Amino acid sequence: MPTKSFNTNRTLRQVLVVHGVSVILVTAAILGFAGITPWQSAPLSGVLVAILVAMGSGFALYRSLYTLLNIESRLSQLAATSTNANDAAALVLEPATGNTSAEFGWNRLVEAGRVWRAVDELQKTLLASMSDRRRGTGPQLLDSLSEGVATVDPDGKITYANMALAAMCGQSNGEVLYGQLLADAFGVDADTAEKLRGDIDPAQTTFEWGVQSGAVERIFRGHRRPGRKNDGGAISSVWTIRDITQQKLADSMRDKFLATATHEFRTPLANIRAYVESLDMSDDLDPESRKRFYNVIQSESLRLSQLVDDLLDISRMQAGAMALDCRETDLGRLVEEISQKVEGEMREKNLDYRCELPPKYPKLLLDKGKLAAAIVNLLGNAAKYTPEGGRVTFRVDVNNQRIEFAITDTGIGISEEDLPRVFERFYRCNDDRVREITGSGLGLALTQEVARLHGGEVNVQSKLNEGSTFSITIPLDSTAA
Amino acid sequence: METVSKALVAEDDRALADIIRLALTRGGYQVAVAHDGKKALTLATNSKFDVVVSDYQMPLLNGEQLLSGIRTEGASQEALLFLCSAKSFELDSERIKRELRLSAVFFKPFSLGELVTTIKSHQTAAWA
C-alpha cells in the first residue's frame, strides 16, 4: 500500500522505496493537506510528516491530519520526522499512545525517520568537513558527493577518483582506478575513448557516453576542466561525472507521452472537423446521413473528453490525489453495463465473447465509474490485441474473501521481457503488432491504480502468441457495504 | 471523353475513411476503401488507381510501408500518393515525401475540402 509522506527529501524517499514502501511525495504542507483529503477512504498504510515543510507548518498539518480528519481510524501509522529530535519524538509518541496498532509498516516509517536524522547528521559532518578543508580533509568531503569526481594527469590517467566515480565504474573504492585511463575505467568503446582523451576536439569540455551494463545502457555526462600545469607545462584535468540514466529515461518517456497524447487528440479531432465540414458543405444530405454525421461528431467528442479525463486521472495519480467516490453498488447491473459497452467491439472483430458470471453478487462499496472503466479497459485491450475469430472470456468469481474480475483472451500475448513493464505509465510492448494499434499506454497504469485504491490488485499471466489473462482482485473486507 | 479517376483510401478509422470516401465520391472519383495497410497494398497492386490517400498509422502495414510498396511494384506505381497523419513532429514527413515522391502530406485534423482540392490540382498539373 502506498504511504504518503510530506516534504521528505529524496534520500528518505529512496530509503523507503528500498524498504519496499510505495511512496507518494508531497512537497508542501498546503499541497499535502489538499492531497490527503481525497485519500480519507483510501488504503494508505501510513503518513509521514516533516515538521519543517514548505508553504506551511508541518506541525499544524500533522495536528489537522490527526484531529480534524480523524485519520488515525484509517491509518495505522502516522509518523513525524524532524531535524530536531525532541519535536519529532513528542509528535510520534503522542498518537502512538492511542489505540492504533503498531504494524510492520509503522516500524519501517519510524526507522526511516531515524535514517533521515542520520542523513542530517551526515550533512552536519559534511559541513564540518568543508570547514576543515584546509587541514587536508578534502578527499573525505569529495567521497561524500553523489557526483563522480576524478583528476587525470596529462596522459589521461586517473590520479584521484572519489567513491561515487568508483561506484560508477563498478568499484568499491577510487584507489583501484588510479593509473587507469578514464575511458578504460568506464569500459567505453574506442570512439568514445578517443573523444574523452580530447584527441578529436581538445576544446570540448562536456561529454555524454553510454555504458552497457547487462541489459541496461547507463548514460553518463561528464565535464572536463583544465587543472594545474605540471613542471613540463602539460595540463592535468578535473572531471565531474553524473549518471544521467534516469533523467534520460524520464525525458524519453515524456517525449513519447507527448507524441502519443498528440496523436490520440488528433484522431478524434480529425473526425470532428471532417464531419462538421461535410455537414456545412452538403445541403443535400438526406436526414439519415445527417443524423449519422451528428452521431459521429458526438461520439468523437466523447472520445476526446474521455482522453482528457484519462490524462487528468494520470496527472492526479502522479500527484497521489486520485480519489474514489465509493457507493453501494449493484454489481450484477455493473457487469451487465460493462458487457453491453464492449459487445459491439467484440462483434465487430468477430470474437467469441463469453461471460462466466456468478448467480449472486455481494453488496459492495465501490467507485462504480472507475471500476467499470478499469474493467472496460481490460476487455477493450483483449478485443484490440486478439486477432479476428479469437475468444475473449469475462469471468467474475466471488468467494468469502474477495471478488475477482478476470479477462482471458486468445490474443497475441506479451513477451517475458515486456510482461514486468506493462503497468508502467506510457509503456507499450516492443511488438510491431502492438505498435500498429492506437493506444496511449495509460490504461493499465490507471487500471492498477483503481484496483489499489480499492485495496486490491491487478495480476497478469501471459504467453506470447497464445494469449493473456488480466485479473482485478478486490478484497471484500475493504469494500463490504 | 474524360474517364473517371479511381482513388484508394487506406484508413483504419472507419468513420474517417467513410467521410473521405464521401468527399472524394462527391468530387467525382470512383473510390475504394481499405482499413489496413496490407489489404490496401493488395488492392493497389492488382488494380490501377490514379490517387491513393493513406493514413500513416494502420494495422499490418503502416502508411510509409504501404506507399513504398505501391511505388515499388504493381498496377498503381504511377499513382499520385497522399499521406495523412496524426503524427506531426515525430514523423520525418519531408524525407518520406521526397523518397516516395508523395504529392502532399496532410496532418490531422485536416480540411476535407482542402484535401480534395489539393488532389485535383495535383492531377491537373500531372495531366498538363
Pairwise pLDDT comparison (B3 vs A417), residue with the higher score: A417
Give B48 or A281, the one with higher predicted confidence: B48
Give the tens place of pLDDT for each residue, A182-237.
Answer: 889 998 888 888 888 776 666 777 889 988 877 778 899 998 887 655 565 666 78
Q: What is the pLDDT of residue A254?
A: 75
pLDDT confidence of residue A192: 85
pLDDT band at A299; cut points 50, 70, 90 = confident
Confidence band of A358 (pLDDT split at 50, 70, 90): very high
Instruction: Please give the pLDDT value at position A245.
Output: 87
Contact B89 A259 (CB under 8 A): yes
User: In whole angstroms, what is the distance from residue A179 CA to residue A159 CA?
Assistant: 6
pLDDT of residue A88: 41
Q: Please give the pLDDT value at position A265.
A: 86
Look at the block and give the residue holding cell 459491439. A344
Summarize pLDDT for A127-178 with one digit per residue, the tens.
565 455 445 555 677 887 888 988 888 888 898 889 899 989 988 888 888 9
Residue A48 confidence (pLDDT): 62
Most confident of A125-129, A422-426, A431-435: A422-426
Specify whether the CB–CB gap between A354 and A383 falls below 8 A: no
Question: Do A168 and A148 contact (CB within 8 A), yes or no?
Answer: yes
A252, A258, A265, A267, best to mutate vs chain B, most B CBs in 10 Å: A267
Residue A99: pLDDT above 50?
A: no
Quick check: B102 and B67 in contact, CB under 8 A? yes
pLDDT bracket for residue B102 (50, 70, 90)? very high
Q: Which pLDDT belongs to residue A54?
A: 42
Q: How confident is the model at residue A438, as a pLDDT?
A: 65
- According to the model, what pLDDT value does residue A32 have? 45
Task: Out of A2-6, A195-199, A411-415, B21-25, pick the least confident.
Answer: A2-6
pLDDT band of residue A386 (cuts 50, 70, 90) is very high
**Chain A CB contacts of B64 below 8 Å:** none
Predicted confidence band of residue B67 (pLDDT cuts 50, 70, 90): very high
Q: B19 CB near a chain A CB, below 8 Å?
A: yes
**Hey, are the CB atoms on B60 and A278 less than 8 Å from each other?**
no
Q: B90 and A259: CB-CB below 8 Å?
A: yes
- The pLDDT assigned to A323 comes to 77
d(CA B56, CA B40): 12
Compare all CA atoms of chain B with the CA of A294 and give the residue at the minimum distance: B15
Residue A56 predicted with pLDDT over 50 = no
To the nearest whole Å, the CA of A404 is away from the closest chain B CA by 33
> Are B16 and A274 in contact (CB < 8 Å)?
yes
CA distances from B108 to A265, A326, B35, B54, B113 (A): 9, 39, 17, 12, 13
Residue A95: exposed, middle, or buried by beta-carbon count in 10 A (0-12, 13-18, 19+)? buried
Contact indicator for A26, A6 with CB cutoff of 8 Å: yes
pLDDT grade for A93, boundaries at 50, 70 and 90 = very low
- pLDDT number for residue A121: 59
Residues of B in Cβ contact (< 8 Å) with A272: 109
Q: Mutation target for A interface from B56, B106, B110, B117: give the one with most A CBs within 10 A.
A: B110
Contacts of B116 in chain A (CB under 8 A): none
The residue type at A411: G
Cis omega (within 30 of 0) on the bond before A202? no
Block residue for cell numbers 515486456: A418
List the single range of A128-142, A459-473, B23-37, B51-65 with lowest mean pLDDT: A128-142
Task: State mean pLDDT over A354-372.
Answer: 90
Q: What is the mean pLDDT of residues A24-50?
A: 51
CA gyration radius for chain B? 13
Report the pLDDT value the prediction gives residue A94, as an integer from 0 to 100: 39
Best of B66, B107, B111, B112 to mutate (most A CBs within 10 Å, chain A)? B112
Tell me whether B107 touches chain A (CB under 8 Å).
yes
Cβ of A278 within 8 Å of Cβ of B22? The answer is: yes
Q: Which of A263, A277, A436 has its CB closest to that of B58?
A: A436
Cβ–Cβ below 8 Å for A262 and B88: yes
Asked if the ipTM is above 0.85, the reply is yes
DSSP-derived 3-state class of residue A213: strand
Report CB contact under 8 Å: B111, A259: no
The CB density around residue A200, as the number of other CB atoms within 10 Å, is: 10
Other CB atoms within 10 A of residue A186 CB: 24
Smallest CA–CA separation between A434 and chain B, in Å?
A: 9
With beta carbons less than 8 A apart as the criterion, state whether A370 and A450 touch: yes
Q: What is the mean pLDDT of residues A46-74?
A: 52
A332-353 pLDDT per residue, tens: 999 999 998 899 889 988 999 9
Output the pLDDT for position A464: 93
Mean pLDDT, chain A, whole residue set: 75
> pLDDT tens digits, residue range A310-339?
788 877 776 767 778 888 888 999 999 999
Q: Using pLDDT thresholds of 50, 70 and 90, give the confidence band for residue A116.
A: low
pLDDT at A388: 92
Q: How many CA atoms lie within 13 A of A132 on its CB side?
A: 13
Q: Which residues of B touch A437 (CB under 8 A)?
A: 59
pLDDT of residue A81: 52
Which chain B residues contact residue A282 at CB under 8 A? 26
- Residue B18 pLDDT: 93
CA–CA distances in Å: residue B103 to residues A65, B54, B78: 64, 12, 11
pTM value surpassing 0.95: no
Q: Do A274 and B60 touch (CB under 8 A)?
A: no
Query: In this complex, do A436 and B62 lie within 8 Å of one another by their Cβ atoms?
Result: yes
